[in-house]
Amino acid sequence: METQQLKSVEAAIDVHFQNPELLQLSLIHSSYINEHPLDAPVSNERLEYLGDALLGMAVANRLYQDYPEMPEGDLTAARAAIVCGECLSEAALALGLGQFLYLGQGEERTGGRTKPSNLAAGLEALVGAIYLDKGYEEAEAFGLRVLKKQLDRIAADPVPQDSKSALQEAMQAQGRGTPTYRLLDETGPGHARTFTVEVLVGDESLGQGSGQRKTDAEREAARAALNTMKS
Protein backbone atom coordinates (compact mmCIF):
# COMPACT_ATOMS: atom_id res chain seq x y z
CA MET A 1 0.00 0.00 0.00
CA GLU A 2 1.41 3.36 -1.02
CA THR A 3 2.09 6.12 1.50
CA GLN A 4 -0.83 8.14 0.20
CA GLN A 5 -3.17 5.20 0.65
CA LEU A 6 -2.04 4.74 4.23
CA LYS A 7 -2.72 8.42 4.83
CA SER A 8 -6.24 7.81 3.52
CA VAL A 9 -6.65 5.07 6.09
CA GLU A 10 -5.37 7.35 8.84
CA ALA A 11 -7.83 10.04 7.76
CA ALA A 12 -10.71 7.55 7.79
CA ILE A 13 -9.92 6.29 11.30
CA ASP A 14 -8.65 9.65 12.62
CA VAL A 15 -5.43 8.15 13.97
CA HIS A 16 -1.88 9.00 12.90
CA PHE A 17 0.68 6.19 13.15
CA GLN A 18 4.31 6.70 14.12
CA ASN A 19 5.03 3.32 12.50
CA PRO A 20 2.93 2.98 9.32
CA GLU A 21 4.05 -0.64 8.94
CA LEU A 22 1.87 -1.56 11.91
CA LEU A 23 -1.13 0.04 10.25
CA GLN A 24 -0.37 -1.82 7.04
CA LEU A 25 0.01 -5.14 8.87
CA SER A 26 -3.36 -4.71 10.58
CA LEU A 27 -5.04 -4.72 7.16
CA ILE A 28 -3.43 -7.89 5.73
CA HIS A 29 -5.93 -10.75 5.52
CA SER A 30 -4.56 -14.30 5.52
CA SER A 31 -5.81 -14.84 1.95
CA TYR A 32 -3.40 -12.14 0.76
CA ILE A 33 -0.28 -13.78 2.19
CA ASN A 34 -1.25 -17.07 0.56
CA GLU A 35 -0.93 -15.33 -2.81
CA HIS A 36 1.85 -12.84 -1.92
CA PRO A 37 4.14 -14.64 0.55
CA LEU A 38 7.15 -12.49 -0.33
CA ASP A 39 5.36 -9.14 -0.15
CA ALA A 40 3.43 -10.01 3.02
CA PRO A 41 4.91 -12.93 4.97
CA VAL A 42 2.45 -12.60 7.88
CA SER A 43 -1.21 -11.66 8.26
CA ASN A 44 -3.05 -9.52 10.79
CA GLU A 45 -4.11 -12.52 12.89
CA ARG A 46 -1.70 -11.88 15.79
CA LEU A 47 -2.78 -8.26 15.94
CA GLU A 48 -6.39 -9.46 15.85
CA TYR A 49 -5.71 -11.57 18.94
CA LEU A 50 -4.22 -8.58 20.74
CA GLY A 51 -7.01 -6.19 19.73
CA ASP A 52 -9.69 -8.65 20.80
CA ALA A 53 -8.29 -8.70 24.34
CA LEU A 54 -7.87 -4.92 24.43
CA LEU A 55 -11.42 -4.23 23.27
CA GLY A 56 -12.81 -6.64 25.83
CA MET A 57 -10.91 -4.84 28.59
CA ALA A 58 -11.83 -1.35 27.38
CA VAL A 59 -15.53 -2.18 27.15
CA ALA A 60 -15.52 -4.03 30.47
CA ASN A 61 -13.97 -1.03 32.21
CA ARG A 62 -16.40 1.43 30.62
CA LEU A 63 -19.42 -0.67 31.64
CA TYR A 64 -18.04 -1.11 35.16
CA GLN A 65 -17.63 2.66 35.54
CA ASP A 66 -20.90 3.69 33.87
CA TYR A 67 -23.19 1.11 35.51
CA PRO A 68 -22.16 0.80 39.19
CA GLU A 69 -25.38 -1.03 40.11
CA MET A 70 -25.21 -3.62 37.32
CA PRO A 71 -24.47 -7.14 38.62
CA GLU A 72 -21.59 -9.21 37.28
CA GLY A 73 -23.74 -11.47 35.12
CA ASP A 74 -25.38 -8.53 33.37
CA LEU A 75 -22.01 -6.81 32.88
CA THR A 76 -20.73 -9.97 31.21
CA ALA A 77 -23.77 -10.16 28.93
CA ALA A 78 -23.47 -6.48 28.01
CA ARG A 79 -19.78 -6.76 27.21
CA ALA A 80 -20.36 -9.86 25.07
CA ALA A 81 -23.13 -8.06 23.17
CA ILE A 82 -20.86 -5.10 22.38
CA VAL A 83 -17.71 -6.96 21.32
CA CYS A 84 -19.49 -9.67 19.32
CA GLY A 85 -18.58 -10.13 15.67
CA GLU A 86 -21.81 -8.52 14.49
CA CYS A 87 -21.21 -5.27 16.42
CA LEU A 88 -17.51 -5.11 15.53
CA SER A 89 -18.27 -5.56 11.83
CA GLU A 90 -20.94 -2.88 12.10
CA ALA A 91 -18.38 -0.46 13.57
CA ALA A 92 -15.76 -1.42 10.95
CA LEU A 93 -18.29 -0.86 8.16
CA ALA A 94 -19.03 2.61 9.50
CA LEU A 95 -15.30 3.40 9.28
CA GLY A 96 -15.13 2.15 5.70
CA LEU A 97 -12.44 -0.29 6.78
CA GLY A 98 -13.33 -2.91 4.19
CA GLN A 99 -12.04 -0.84 1.27
CA PHE A 100 -8.53 -0.81 2.76
CA LEU A 101 -8.09 -4.54 3.44
CA TYR A 102 -5.42 -6.54 1.63
CA LEU A 103 -7.27 -9.53 0.20
CA GLY A 104 -6.41 -12.41 -2.06
CA GLN A 105 -8.16 -12.56 -5.41
CA GLY A 106 -10.49 -15.37 -4.36
CA GLU A 107 -11.53 -13.52 -1.23
CA GLU A 108 -12.02 -10.36 -3.27
CA ARG A 109 -14.28 -12.16 -5.75
CA THR A 110 -16.47 -13.57 -3.00
CA GLY A 111 -17.22 -10.19 -1.43
CA GLY A 112 -14.50 -10.29 1.20
CA ARG A 113 -14.55 -6.54 1.75
CA THR A 114 -18.04 -6.71 3.22
CA LYS A 115 -17.83 -10.05 5.04
CA PRO A 116 -18.62 -9.46 8.71
CA SER A 117 -15.84 -11.80 9.86
CA ASN A 118 -13.20 -9.94 7.83
CA LEU A 119 -14.43 -6.56 9.04
CA ALA A 120 -14.53 -7.61 12.69
CA ALA A 121 -11.06 -9.15 12.49
CA GLY A 122 -9.72 -6.06 10.74
CA LEU A 123 -11.07 -3.78 13.45
CA GLU A 124 -9.58 -5.93 16.21
CA ALA A 125 -6.22 -5.97 14.40
CA LEU A 126 -6.36 -2.21 14.00
CA VAL A 127 -6.90 -1.76 17.74
CA GLY A 128 -3.93 -4.04 18.37
CA ALA A 129 -1.80 -1.98 16.00
CA ILE A 130 -2.81 1.29 17.69
CA TYR A 131 -1.86 -0.20 21.06
CA LEU A 132 1.62 -1.17 19.84
CA ASP A 133 2.12 2.19 18.13
CA LYS A 134 0.59 4.58 20.66
CA GLY A 135 -0.07 2.71 23.91
CA TYR A 136 -3.09 1.43 25.79
CA GLU A 137 -4.83 4.75 26.44
CA GLU A 138 -4.92 5.61 22.73
CA ALA A 139 -6.12 2.11 21.80
CA GLU A 140 -8.80 2.26 24.47
CA ALA A 141 -9.98 5.71 23.37
CA PHE A 142 -10.18 4.58 19.74
CA GLY A 143 -12.06 1.40 20.61
CA LEU A 144 -14.61 3.22 22.74
CA ARG A 145 -15.02 5.91 20.09
CA VAL A 146 -15.79 3.53 17.26
CA LEU A 147 -18.07 1.42 19.48
CA LYS A 148 -19.99 4.43 20.86
CA LYS A 149 -23.17 3.48 19.01
CA GLN A 150 -23.03 -0.04 20.44
CA LEU A 151 -22.24 1.24 23.94
CA ASP A 152 -25.13 3.70 23.80
CA ARG A 153 -27.55 0.84 23.18
CA ILE A 154 -26.87 -0.45 26.67
CA ALA A 155 -28.63 2.58 28.15
CA ALA A 156 -31.82 1.52 26.35
CA ASP A 157 -31.35 -2.22 26.88
CA PRO A 158 -29.13 -2.76 29.93
CA VAL A 159 -29.17 -6.57 29.71
CA PRO A 160 -28.93 -7.42 26.00
CA GLN A 161 -29.36 -11.04 25.02
CA ASP A 162 -27.79 -12.76 22.10
CA SER A 163 -29.86 -15.27 20.19
CA LYS A 164 -28.31 -18.29 21.96
CA SER A 165 -29.24 -16.96 25.40
CA ALA A 166 -32.72 -16.03 24.24
CA LEU A 167 -33.29 -19.49 22.80
CA GLN A 168 -32.05 -21.19 25.95
CA GLU A 169 -34.44 -19.15 28.09
CA ALA A 170 -37.33 -19.90 25.73
CA MET A 171 -36.64 -23.63 25.84
CA GLN A 172 -36.31 -23.68 29.61
CA ALA A 173 -39.55 -21.72 29.96
CA GLN A 174 -41.27 -24.43 27.94
CA GLY A 175 -39.64 -27.18 29.99
CA ARG A 176 -37.88 -28.57 26.94
CA GLY A 177 -34.31 -28.65 28.20
CA THR A 178 -31.08 -26.97 27.11
CA PRO A 179 -30.28 -26.48 23.40
CA THR A 180 -27.15 -28.13 22.05
CA TYR A 181 -25.23 -27.31 18.87
CA ARG A 182 -23.86 -29.79 16.35
CA LEU A 183 -21.43 -29.06 13.55
CA LEU A 184 -22.90 -30.28 10.25
CA ASP A 185 -20.35 -29.09 7.73
CA GLU A 186 -17.06 -27.24 7.39
CA THR A 187 -16.05 -25.99 3.96
CA GLY A 188 -13.65 -23.62 2.25
CA PRO A 189 -9.89 -22.98 2.47
CA GLY A 190 -8.19 -22.46 5.81
CA HIS A 191 -8.34 -18.67 5.60
CA ALA A 192 -12.04 -18.60 4.75
CA ARG A 193 -13.77 -21.50 6.46
CA THR A 194 -17.57 -21.66 6.52
CA PHE A 195 -19.20 -23.60 9.33
CA THR A 196 -22.75 -24.94 9.25
CA VAL A 197 -24.34 -25.77 12.58
CA GLU A 198 -27.72 -27.02 13.74
CA VAL A 199 -29.30 -26.45 17.11
CA LEU A 200 -31.17 -29.29 18.80
CA VAL A 201 -33.25 -29.91 21.87
CA GLY A 202 -33.04 -33.61 22.52
CA ASP A 203 -33.24 -35.21 19.07
CA GLU A 204 -35.31 -32.39 17.55
CA SER A 205 -33.55 -30.03 15.15
CA LEU A 206 -34.77 -26.46 15.68
CA GLY A 207 -32.74 -24.61 13.07
CA GLN A 208 -29.51 -24.27 11.12
CA GLY A 209 -27.05 -21.45 10.59
CA SER A 210 -23.75 -20.73 8.85
CA GLY A 211 -20.84 -18.42 9.56
CA GLN A 212 -17.09 -18.04 9.26
CA ARG A 213 -16.76 -18.68 12.98
CA LYS A 214 -18.44 -21.53 14.83
CA THR A 215 -19.89 -19.09 17.36
CA ASP A 216 -21.42 -17.01 14.55
CA ALA A 217 -22.92 -20.13 12.99
CA GLU A 218 -24.39 -21.11 16.35
CA ARG A 219 -25.95 -17.67 16.79
CA GLU A 220 -27.46 -17.89 13.31
CA ALA A 221 -28.89 -21.32 14.09
CA ALA A 222 -30.40 -20.00 17.33
CA ARG A 223 -31.82 -16.99 15.49
CA ALA A 224 -33.41 -19.29 12.90
CA ALA A 225 -34.96 -21.36 15.69
CA LEU A 226 -36.38 -18.25 17.37
CA ASN A 227 -37.82 -17.00 14.08
CA THR A 228 -39.49 -20.37 13.51
CA MET A 229 -41.03 -20.22 16.98
CA LYS A 230 -42.46 -16.75 16.28
CA SER A 231 -43.99 -17.70 12.91
* Mean pLDDT over the full length of the chain: 89
State how far the Cα of 87 lies from the Cα of 168, in Å rounded to an integer: 21
Neighbours of 206 (CB within 10 A): 20
Whole-prediction pTM? 0.74
Residue-wise pLDDT tens digits, 16-65: 999 999 999 999 998 898 888 877 789 999 999 999 999 999 999 999 99
- Spans of the chain below 70 pLDDT: 1, 158-161, 190-192, 231
Q: 182 by DSSP, 3-state: which?
A: strand
pLDDT value at residue 121: 92
Strands 204-211, 180-187: pairing is unpaired
Q: What residues are annotated to the active site?
A: 52, 124
pLDDT value at residue 138: 97
- Domains in the chain, start-ordered, CATH in brackets? 3-156 (1.10.1520.10), 163-230 (3.30.160.20)
